[in-house]
Amino acid sequence: MKIGYARVSTEDQRLDRQEDALKNYGCEKIFREKASGMKDDRPQLAAMLAMLREGDQVVVVKLDRISRSTKHLIELSEKFDEMGVDFVSLGDSNDTSTPMGRFFFKVMASIAELERDIIAERTKDGLRAARARGRKGGRPRAEKSRVDTARKMYESGSFSIEEICDSTGISKSTLYRYLH
């Protein structure tokens, strides 16, 4: 089954052009969404993913209609691949049912994986360099004397949380962390 997905970013925009292209391609069902591509919570995308079956074909007018980030696009293409679903982007001339289409997505996935690995490596190198210079990282601990004062004030029952925080200079979250 050919299943279309059409999306615009705002309620004011219209889906007509996308719907026409998807119908002309032969889509039997079209999911329509009016939400930013950056939003993780897109109900129509979730509904489409839930109904997909092996052998189906997901069709979009352009890649940016289904995803705004390379990472999300790669995740979707991997999900489609696992499900045995082909993916077609009409405006980008990409179809994962063809050898070139599958190659394109594998190259994209490899680039995204390389990028993730490079970022992780840089982060580890940076942490090692900071440790070598005596920096530990993480949240600085509150002074023991301030924590003790805050605890005594809390246990007395005479002060509000705001008063305790104001007088000791400890944030609410830090106070609660030490109390529990």
pTM: 0.57
Query: Which are the contacts of 104, defined by CB distance < 8 A and separation ≥ 6?
Result: 94
Q: What is the pLDDT of residue 1?
A: 95
- How many residues make up the chain in this entry? 180
Determine how many CB atoms are found less than 10 A away from the CB of residue 93. Answer: 11
77 is known as an active-site residue: no
Going from N- to C-terminal start, the domains of the chain cover 2-109, 144-179
Query: Which are the contacts of 164, defined by CB distance < 8 A and separation ≥ 6?
Result: 150, 153, 154, 170, 175
> Distance of alpha carbon 3 from its chain centroid, rounded?
23
Cα distances (Å, whole numbers) of residue 12 to 9, 34, 68, 159? 9, 9, 19, 52
**Which tokens sit at 34?**
């009016």
Q: What is the pLDDT of residue 44?
A: 94
**Which residue has tokens 């830090």?**
174
Q: What is the pLDDT of residue 68?
A: 67
The domain made up of 2-109 has a fold known as Rossmann fold (3.40.50)
User: Distance between CA atoms of 88 and 49, rounded to whole angstroms?
Assistant: 15
Pick the catalytic residue from 9, 93, 158, 171: 9
Task: For residue 6, give the DSSP letter.
Answer: E
Q: What is the pLDDT of residue 109?
A: 61
Q: Is 33 helix (H, G, I), strand (E, B) or coil?
A: strand
Task: Give the mean pLDDT per block of 10 residues along the chain (180 residues).
Answer: 92 90 95 81 92 94 80 83 89 75 72 77 91 83 90 93 92 88
